[in-house]
Structure 1
Amino acid sequence: MTKPKGAAPRLAEALGTVLGIEDIPVRIRAWDKSEAGPGDAPLLVVRSRRALRRIHWSPGQLGLGRAYVAGEIEVPGDIFATFAALSSDGKLAGTSPGGSLRTRDRWSLLKTAARFGALGPEPAPPPEEARLGRSRRHSKRRDAEAISHHYDVGNDFYRLVLGPSMVYSCAVWNDEDTGLDAVQQAKNDLICRKLGLQPGMRVLDVGCGWGSFALHAAENYGADVVGVTLSAEQAKLARKRAADVGLNGRIDIRIQDYREVDDGPFDAIASIGMAEHVGRDQMAGYVSHLHGLLRPGGRLLNHAISWNAGPARHDPNTFIARYVFPDGELLNLSGMVVELESGGFEVLDVEALRQHYALTLRAWVKRLEESWGEAVALTSEGRARVWRLYMAASALNFEAGKLGVNQVLVQRGGGAEPPLRRSEWI
Structure 2
Amino acid sequence: MNDAAPRLAALAEALLGAPLPVRVRAWDGSEAGPSTGPVLVFHHRRALRRILWKPGELGLARAWVAGDLTVEGDLYALLDLVAGLLWERDRAPQAPPPAARGLRGAAAGLVERVADPVALLRDRERRDAVRGLIQLARPLPAPPPPPEEAVRVAGPRHTKGRDRKAISHHYDVGNDFYERVLGPSMVYSCAYWSPGSTLEEAQRDKLDLVCRKLALRPGQRLLDVGCGWGSMALHAAREYGVQVTGVTLSREQAAYARKRVAQEGLADLVEIRIQDYRDVEDGPYDAISSIGMAEHVGSERYREYARTLYALLRPGGRLLNHQIARRPEADESAYRIDEFIDAYVFPDGELSPLGTTVGELERAGFEVRDVEALREHYALTLRAWVARLEDHWEEALRLTSPGRARVWLLYMAASALAFEHGRIGVNQVLAVKASARGDARLPLRLRTWGA
For residue 67 of structure 1, report the CA deviation from its aligned partner: 0.1
Match of 1:342 in 2: 363
TM-score (norm 1): 0.93
Match of 2:66 in 1: 70
Quote the Cα distance in structure 1 between the aligned partners of 2:150 and 2:285: 35
Match of 1:46 in 2: 42
Provide closer, same or farther for how the CA distance between residues 162 and 14 of structure 1 changes in structure 2, counting only shifts above 3 A.
Answer: farther
Provide closer, same or farther for how the CA distance between residues 334 and 92 of structure 1 changes in structure 2, counting only shifts above 3 A.
Answer: closer
Write out per-residue CA displacement over residues 270-294 of structure 1, whole angstroms, 9 at most, x where no aligned residue.
Answer: 0000110101111111000000000
Match of 1:368 in 2: 389
Match of 1:272 in 2: 291
Q: Which moved more, 1:66-75 or 1:80-89?
A: 80-89
Quote the Cα distance in structure 2 between the aligned partners of 1:143 and 1:114: 43
Give yes or no for contact 1:130–1:326 (8 Å, CA) kept in 2: no
Match of 1:112 in 2: 133
Match of 1:356 in 2: 377
Sequence identity (%):
56
Provide closer, same or farther for how the CA distance between residues 327 and 21 of structure 1 changes in structure 2, counting only shifts above 3 A.
Answer: farther
Match of 1:183 in 2: 202
SS at 2:369's partner residue? strand
Write out per-residue CA displacement over residues 233-281 of structure 1, whole angstroms, 9 at most, x where no aligned residue.
Answer: 1111000010110112211111111111111000000000011010111
Give the counterpart of 2:425 among 393, 397, 404.
Answer: 404
Match of 1:225 in 2: 244
Give yes or no for contact 1:229–1:254 (8 Å, CA) kept in 2: yes
SS at 2:72's partner residue? coil
Give yes or no for contact 1:94–1:320 (8 Å, CA) kept in 2: no
Give yes or no for contact 1:298–1:411 (8 Å, CA) kept in 2: yes
For residue 16 of structure 1, report the CA deviation from its aligned partner: 4.8
Match of 1:144 in 2: 164
For residue 114 of structure 1, report the CA deviation from its aligned partner: 2.3
Give yes or no for contact 1:278–1:329 (8 Å, CA) kept in 2: yes
Q: Which amino acid aligns with 2:6?
A: P
SS at 2:84's partner residue? coil
Give the counterpart of 1:23 among 4, 19, 23.
Answer: 19
Pairing 1:3-402 to 2, within 5 Å after superposition: 6-13=3-10, 15-16=12-13, 20=16, 22-91=18-87, 99=110, 100-101=112-113, 102=117, 108-116=129-137, 118-175=138-195, 177-308=196-327, 310=329, 315-316=336-337, 318-402=339-423
Quote the Cα distance in structure 2 between the aligned partners of 1:95 and 1:181: 36
SS at 1:198's partner residue? coil
Give yes or no for contact 2:11–2:132 (8 Å, CA) kept in 1: no
Provide closer, same or farther for how the CA distance between residues 15 and 327 of structure 1 changes in structure 2, counting only shifts above 3 A.
Answer: farther
Q: Which amino acid aligns with 2:274?
A: I
For residue 92 of structure 1, report the CA deviation from its aligned partner: 10
Q: Gaps spanning 5+ residues in structure 2: where? A: 95-108
Match of 2:105 in 1: none
For residue 14 of structure 1, report the CA deviation from its aligned partner: 5.0
Q: Gaps spanning 5+ residues in structure 1: where? A: none
Give yes or no for contact 1:132–1:142 (8 Å, CA) kept in 2: no
Q: Which amino acid aligns with 2:177?
A: F
Quote the Cα distance in structure 2 between the aligned partners of 1:70 and 1:119: 19
Alignment length (residue pairs): 420
Write out per-residue CA displacement over residues 116-157 of structure 1, whole angstroms, 9 at most, x where no aligned residue.
Answer: 5x3211111112443233211111111111111111111000
Provide closer, same or farther for how the CA distance between residues 392 and 266 of structure 1 changes in structure 2, counting only shifts above 3 A.
Answer: same
Q: Which moved more, 1:258-267 or 1:83-92?
A: 83-92
Q: Which moved more, 1:145-154 or 1:413-422?
A: 413-422
TM-score (norm 2): 0.88
Quote the Cα distance in structure 2 between the aligned partners of 1:245 and 1:95: 48
Quote the Cα distance in structure 1 between the aligned partners of 2:17 and 2:237: 54
Q: Which amino acid aligns with 2:9?
A: A
For residue 76 of structure 1, report the CA deviation from its aligned partner: 2.0
Quote the Cα distance in structure 2 between the aligned partners of 1:156 and 1:178: 24
Write out per-residue CA displacement over residues 41-96 of structure 1, whole angstroms, 9 at most, x where no aligned residue.
Answer: 32111111110111111111111100011001111211100111112244499989
SS at 1:171's partner residue? coil
Provide closer, same or farther for how the CA distance between residues 14 and 172 of structure 1 changes in structure 2, counting only shifts above 3 A.
Answer: farther
Provide closer, same or farther for how the CA distance between residues 309 and 29 of structure 1 changes in structure 2, counting only shifts above 3 A.
Answer: farther
Provide closer, same or farther for how the CA distance between residues 91 and 344 of structure 1 changes in structure 2, counting only shifts above 3 A.
Answer: same
Quote the Cα distance in structure 2 between the aligned partners of 1:47 and 1:92: 27
Q: Which amino acid aligns with 1:369?
A: E
SS at 1:75's partner residue? strand
Provide closer, same or farther for how the CA distance between residues 417 and 50 of structure 1 changes in structure 2, counting only shifts above 3 A.
Answer: same
